[in-house]
Amino acid sequence: MKLHKKRMLASGISAGVCVLMVLLFLAGEGITGSRIGELDALNAGERWSASGEPYATVTLHTDTDSAMSLMQVESYSAAMNTALLNASIASSENGSVWTYGYYAEDLVSVTGPKATASFRTMAVGGSFFTFHPLEFLYGAPFSYDRALPDGIVLDEDAAWRVFGSVDVVGMTVQIGGRDMTVTGIVRKERDDPAYEKAYGDIPRMYMSYYGYENIYGERNNITTYEAVLPDPVKSFAMNIFRNAVQINEDTMTVQENSDRYSLKNRFTRMKELPYMGMRNDRIVYPYFENELQVMDYRTAVRMMFQTAAGAFAVLGLLSAVICLFAAGFAPSAILKNGWQKLEQYREKNHTRRKKGRSGRRLPKPEKFLDE
């Protein structure tokens, strides 16, 4: 089989382009995967699942006018419990089969031994630190017990502002005339421009929603509610959540974070890239969500280049195959030629063995000498 050299060269170049584009696509997947691994808010289901059962993390954000009260949050949680029981998914002996968290944001004035300062405060409840496992430099999270509502957690900047020190676990500050005890000090999670922008320059404090309510009274100011739910089949958790919570599409957004950066969702988000800058809602997102929205944009841009790389890879593969056939490459001829060579080899081997048997010398008879 005679092959056209120039066309074979073109086929080789096309194949090289195909391999390069595949490597670029995989590099994009690697970058996205490493960044997703740093975002703890996406992996609450994996942390909650004891033995690898599928779980989904579903998050609800509302605008301030549609913010929820603690009573509403508790009613949503009761409705989800009932729905799971009706679906024959009951709590195990070791604890609940699902969990939830919620929080409200406010600017709270705090008085410490050194100064009085206003901190960006998240009044949280439920399993907040399961969803957002902050890095503790000292101490631990406060209790979620309604009977022990006076614990707070400060970030490093907040501790320096009101105490002039960081190792202040067990010390107290005053909020609204009430003594609150520092149970832990956390550091800012990541040295990333998107995270730093979302986190902001104002020091942050975390406190029990029960304690916040004791100081400021009952309010409709819970703007985020999230749940980790069993997801034995696709969309099961989302359907349970939507049926339990009264969703107003005009004032609320619901997101399944555990599936947020799947290949399918990233491809869909890529098509919406030109419109990502548009904002027609009044929802004030917490810094966790703002960081994820930056990640949405980055992965959409990256997916655009990955899609282009995938398209060029397919074109390179097709071009390589076309040039290969144009050069005179014929798979049938190669197979036929290979079969013929195999038959020739077998025939030669058979002939060699046959000659060996026919030309074999018989042993000489023993000579017996008469003495």
Per-residue model confidence (pLDDT) at position 368: 45
Q: pLDDT band at 116, cuts 50/70/90? A: very high
pLDDT digits (tens, 9 = 90+) for 27-59: 998 988 888 877 777 888 888 876 778 899 999
Per-residue model confidence (pLDDT) at position 11: 81
**DSSP secondary structure, 82-129, as one string:** HHHHHTT---BTTB-S-EEEEEEEEEEEEE-SS-EEEEEEEEEEESHH
Integer Cα distance of 96 and 313 in angstroms? 48
Cβ(162)–Cβ(113) under 8 Å?
Answer: yes
Residue 369 has pLDDT above 80, yes or no: no
pLDDT digits (tens, 9 = 90+) for 57-71: 999 999 888 899 999
Amino acid at 229: L
Q: pLDDT band at 280, cuts 50/70/90? A: low
Per-residue model confidence (pLDDT) at position 333: 58
Strands 252-256, 55-62: pairing is antiparallel
Per-residue model confidence (pLDDT) at position 289: 85
- The average pLDDT across 278-286 equals 73
Per-residue model confidence (pLDDT) at position 119: 95
Helix (H, G, I), strand (E, B) or coil at 62: strand
Residue with tokens 């022990």: 148
Per-residue model confidence (pLDDT) at position 359: 54
Give the tokens for residue 213. Answer: 């309510």
Integer Cα distance of 181 and 112 in angstroms? 11
Per-residue model confidence (pLDDT) at position 111: 95
Residue 140 has pLDDT above 90, yes or no: yes
Cβ(100)–Cβ(225) under 8 Å?
Answer: yes
Per-residue model confidence (pLDDT) at position 53: 82
**Average pLDDT of the chain, as a whole number:** 84
Helix (H, G, I), strand (E, B) or coil at 255: strand
Cβ(169)–Cβ(139) under 8 Å?
Answer: yes
Amino acid at 341: K
Per-residue model confidence (pLDDT) at position 42: 81
Q: pLDDT band at 23, cuts 50/70/90? A: very high
pLDDT digits (tens, 9 = 90+) for 313-357: 999 899 888 887 777 766 665 566 666 677 777 777 766 666 665
